[in-house]
Amino acid sequence: NAGVTQTPKFQVLKTGQSMTLQCAQDMNHNSMYWYRQDPGMGLRLIYYSASEGTTDKGEVPNGYNVSRLNKREFSLRLESAAPSQTSVYFCASSANTYNEQFFGPGTRLTVL
């Protein structure tokens, strides 16, 4: 039981490049989330998916898109990366609303 897994662990992009961050969970959770964490700050919600087939914007969605591919997988796409998107990205999942969220190990992204 791996919990929440994220790939890649590290990534360096040039401004304007695109990439997709992958997230998968094996806990049969309904809800999945993408957060970003900037130095010295808490996590901010980018997008979330309350259940398979639905996605909604969080606090900081601009510059990102998401896909809930199936119940297990939730990907985050940067279409045209900007230096302001340099951050650590965390994926999380929860069984349902008002359940604890389980976090993955994070993807450290640098945009030059």
Are 13 and 111 a contacting pair, CB within 8 Å? yes
Q: Alpha helices, DSSP H only, in the chain? A: none
Query: If binding means CB under 8 A, how many residues of this protein chain bind other proteins?
Result: 28
Instruction: Looking at residues 52 to 111 of the shown chain, list those that interact with other proteins (rule: CB under 8 A).
Output: 56, 58-59, 90, 92, 94, 96-106
Q: Tell me the one-letter amino acid at 66.
A: V
Q: Which is nearer to other proteins, 85 or 101 (CB)?
A: 101
Per the CB < 8 A criterion, the answer to whether 38 and 87 are in contact is yes
Q: Is 34 in the site for other proteins (CB under 8 A)?
A: no
Reported residue count of the chain is 112
Give the residues lining the site for other proteins (CB under 8 A). Answer: 4, 31, 33, 40-45, 48, 50, 56, 58-59, 90, 92, 94, 96-106
